[in-house]
A and B are shown apart, each in its own frame.
Chain A
Amino acid sequence: MTNEIILEIKDLCTTVGEEKTPILRNVDLTVGRGETHIIMGPNGAGKSTLGFTVMGNPAYEIESGKIFFEGEDITDLSADKRAVKGIFLSFQNPIEVPGISMRSFLKSSLQQITGKRIKYSEFNKTLEEALSLINMDPSYVDRDVNVGFSGGEKKKAEILQLLVLRPKLAILDETDSGLDVDAVRTVSQGIRAYKERYGGTLIIITHNAAILEALDVDKTHVLVKGKIVETGGADLTDEINRNGFEKYTDG
């Protein structure tokens, strides 16, 4: 871990829809390179919106505030340009893309992000390594992207993408939801490998402490009604798991 800032969100306010419903309200967040930050909060607090906003989802309008990545203002950049800069979002509900195999999709994606043609031999090596890290059956990559995958397989496939694309910053939006105990452990292994092998930085949106067991958490942020109402260390995660969000939501 270094003190170098990789992501800085300043006074961010976002709305959604034609009626401009406010979601995020004056959010400030600073993430250092190599750190692991946890975002917790009750349903509807704006956690996924935060992930989507950092990843440039046009469905969310930025009304004010700025997002800096490695010191560069990326507030107005499209999602693909943010991906090229090294940001990755693991979706809570990964999308199905019929007609293209996961293998072919990942290779094309890696080429888009790196801007280089990747040799099959080189790519296959990367892919095999990633598959083994999360004990994923190699036959999955020859199936169409997320098509016919169970909920758990889709989440594992997102982590597979993380391990192949190796971004500088990964935002994981409830990657652990809907997973059984074994699958949480596997996904957790993959996330740890991303951090340790590739020096990754993590923002993890979660309700589940189990996924955090294998990770050293640097900061926990509590998001309520679009605002970060408290920031603490790993112990804050434990406290919330014990006591819930009542003290933040009451009144």
Chain B
Amino acid sequence: MTDVYNINTSPALTFAKLGMNGDRISVNTSLIKKENVEQYIFGNGITDTDDIDEALPGGAAGQDIDRLLSTESRIMTVKGNAGITISFSGSGVIRRVLKVARGVEAEVVEVVKGKAPDIALNSTSYILEKNARLKLIRIQMLDKDTLYVDDLRAKLHEDSYLEVVRLDLGSKRSYIASKVSLEGKNSEYKAHGDYLLNGSQRLDINMIAEHIAPDTVSDMRCDGVLLDSASKIFRGVLDFKSGCKGAKGAENEDVILLSEDVDNQSLPMILCGEEDVEGNHGASVGKISDEIIYYLMTRGFDEEAAVRLIIRSKFNNITSQLKNSDLRDVINRQIDGVLS
């Protein structure tokens, strides 16, 4: 049975005629099957338990999307570095809670791949206890027929640190919904997402940093390249709640447009319920400068190769963080495939 769901609705609405307040998706829930999604864990850093717990409430994707999720999630405990592959073979929903215990420092690399034309929904709640530090690298390489919903929620306790690095390359339509609640004093959140979209790919981003405790810090950055008739909307929200004195938040994006037919929308937002805060946003949107292309051409690169090199170098900031050279090669091949 096909239902329509609101998704990525902005927490504060702007003029409706701009079409930026949110989106709607149609999902045939009868196609969603448990066996269509599998999770593989590599390394000893994560313990997958049979325990069940409730995920964090209120994700950035919105309440409608919660209806697609069961209320219970498997709990996974992060004790050290690990890799996770989530593979879709049809419409599927996966919901997990990953807990990073007090004082633990870890890096988790997640790869999302496979194919799900109707929906691939990946919902993860990260709970970082006091002094925990987690770096999450998430690479999305789904088949280009896929509709993907990436629902990331996080709760940060005192002095904890969450860094999210993501690279979105695949799927036909992607919704990135991310809500990080900085509940503990001095907790810090840093996000850097890159995307490369071509053909008629669409990416819809709704990222929220919710500053609740004093002296919390957030820094969200979203950079990407649009080709052909690809489209993207970035909603970035710094939400300073009453009582978060001394909190600092920043959001930035840098978008390269390589075609006249691309559609790029940005909706940066700063919500202030507290006076003693600092919030900044900035955006840079444009073509690759003629100056840099010319410089590369004087070093023997033809114009096409120069553009390819600049774009590849943009993504090197993320791929260079991957220790797995096979994964790095797969990503580079996929990027080259788009640019060739």
Contacts and interface: CB of A to CB of B under 8 A. Distances in A.
Interface in A107-126: 108-110, 112-113
A169 interface: no
B313 A99 contact: yes
Interface string A82-94: 1110001101001
A120 to B, nearest CB: 15
A78 interface: yes
B302 to A, nearest CB: 5
Contacts of A105: 299
A58 interface: yes
Interface residues of A, number: 29
A83 B314 CA distance: 24
A165 interface: yes
Contacts of B296: 97
A143 to B, nearest CB: 13
B317 A98 contact: yes
A79 interface: yes
B300 A112 contact: yes
A12 interface: no
A200 B76 CA distance: 64
B292 interface: yes
Contacts of A83: 297-300
Contacts of B290: 58-59
Nearest to A91: B295
A109 B313 contact: no
Contacts of B306: 80
A231 to B, nearest CB: 26
A99 B315 contact: yes
Contact of B302 (A80, A98, A99): A80
A202 interface: no
A78 B297 contact: yes
B317 A112 contact: no
A98 B306 CA distance: 13
Contact of B294 (A57, A88, A109, A161): A57
A181 interface: no
Given A95-B292, A99-B315, A100-B313, A55 B298 contact: yes
30 contacts: A56-B298, A57-B294, A58-B294, A59-B290, A78-B297, A79-B294, A80-B300, A80-B301, A80-B303, A80-B305, A83-B297, A83-B299, A84-B300, A88-B298, A91-B295, A95-B295, A97-B295, A98-B313, A98-B314, A98-B317, A99-B313, A100-B313, A100-B316, A105-B299, A108-B301, A109-B301, A112-B299, A112-B300, A112-B302, A113-B299
Given A99-B313, A165-B299, 16 more contacts: A55-B298, A56-B298, A59-B290, A78-B297, A78-B302, A78-B303, A79-B298, A80-B298, A83-B297, A83-B299, A91-B298, A97-B296, A99-B315, A99-B316, A105-B299, A112-B301
Interface of A: 55-59, 78-80, 82-84, 88-89, 91, 94-95, 97-100, 105, 108-110, 112-113, 144, 161, 165
Can you list the 8 inter-chain pairs with the closest CB atoms, starting with the nearest? A99-B313, A112-B300, A79-B297, A113-B300, A100-B313, A95-B295, A109-B299, A99-B316
